[in-house]
Amino acid sequence: MADPRGFLRTRDRELPESRPVPLRLQDWREVHEHRVGDSPYLTRQAGRCMDCGIPFCHQGCPLGNLIPEWNDLVWRGQWEEAIERLHATNNFPEFTGRICPAPCENSCVLGINQPPVTIKNIEVSIIDEAWERGLVHPVVPDRLTDSTVAVVGSGPAGLAVAQQLTRAGHTVVVFEKDDAIGGLLRYGVPDFKLEKAHIDRRVAQMEAEGTRFRTGVTVGEDPTWDELRARFDAVVIAIGASLPRSLRVEGRALPGVVNAMTYLSQSNAVVAGRTVADQITATDKDVIIIGGGDTGSDCLGTALRQGARSVTTLAIGYQPPVERPQDQPWPT
């Protein structure tokens, strides 16, 4: 256990401050200032972890991250051991630590009567500090097998699969239809949530480990699926859900009604320095966003940064509460 009395001494959550709104609307940098290093606030927050006999945060995390273990190591300032434990279950904590909705925090036992541990922020601080200290290295396999694997799709699932198989000694080739690796991390999630340097750094690590990447390849056309299957011993399909959901409502086909991913991918390409012909932009327009989820919020931030005259979000559900409602006590 980190600090046996930590959750009693420190009862409040402490998170990095967000950059001022007028400032961050002028650029595409990340919204939050991620502080790393042996900062007192991070030590205090990691010390609030109670190392529960049954750590429900494990259940809440889809990856099964060993959260109490690396909380303890952060509290002790053992950064190399902390990133080792984090990498044991998570290939890319700099991705999840920024854009994961953090169900682990809703599962934190401390949430019974206190604000939960700042698990997500501690996670991203571990990997940011590990990169800063040079603790992340290519993991080259000791020996190579005779097996070849094609991974179709270079989003987080495809990249994680490719990295694990490469480290097992297989020869892995990742195929991506876009002109850059990353899938929706690259052309879906805006830079103000995930700057693309984080993707580039991981791709460089994976290339050093032996993973091969092929961009601009539409599997199913050239090569066909049969051709791909004939060339490789195994094929992993890790494609995203890129087909938009269409609404059967009057006016759906009118000019100016666009799908979110088309809009976001064009914006991300332009931010990356590419030229997009006939780019859909919100500049000087009154924008309506249908849908209040993560994609809707991505469109909101993008439209504001493009200089929209106004932005209105329409959602079918009720506005969720800021804090856990009384009728949903822990661990619901």
List, for residues 306-330, the tens digit of each pLDDT value: 999 999 999 998 888 888 888 888 8
List, for residues 153-172, the tens digit of each pLDDT value: 999 999 999 999 999 999 99
Q: Final residue of a domain: which of 132, 161, 184?
A: 132
Q: Are 46 and 71 in contact (CB under 8 A)?
A: yes
Q: State whether 11 and 126 are in the same domain.
A: yes
Residue 208, in any domain of the structure: yes
To the nearest 10 degrees (0 to 180), the angle between helices 156-167 and 197-209 is: 20
List, for residues 249-306, the tens digit of each pLDDT value: 999 989 999 999 999 999 999 999 999 999 999 999 999 999 989 999 999 999 999 9
Q: State whether 40 and 112 are in the same domain.
A: yes
User: What's the pLDDT at 204?
Assistant: 98
Q: State whether 78 and 95 are in the same domain.
A: yes
Q: Quote the mean pLDDT of the chain.
A: 93
User: What's the pLDDT at 321?
Assistant: 86
User: Chain centroid to CA 34: how far?
Assistant: 15
Q: Cβ–Cβ contacts within 10 Å for residue 229, how many? A: 13
pTM of the model: 0.92
CA dihedral angle for residue 25, residue 26, residue 29, residue 31, rounded to 10 degrees = -30
Strands in 234-237's sheet, in edge-to-edge order, are 212-215, 171-176, 148-152, 234-237
List, for residues 168-227, the tens digit of each pLDDT value: 999 999 999 999 999 999 999 999 999 999 999 999 999 999 999 999 999 999 999 999
Place of tokens 């889809």: 62
User: What's the pLDDT at 268?
Assistant: 97
Residue 90, in any domain of the structure: yes
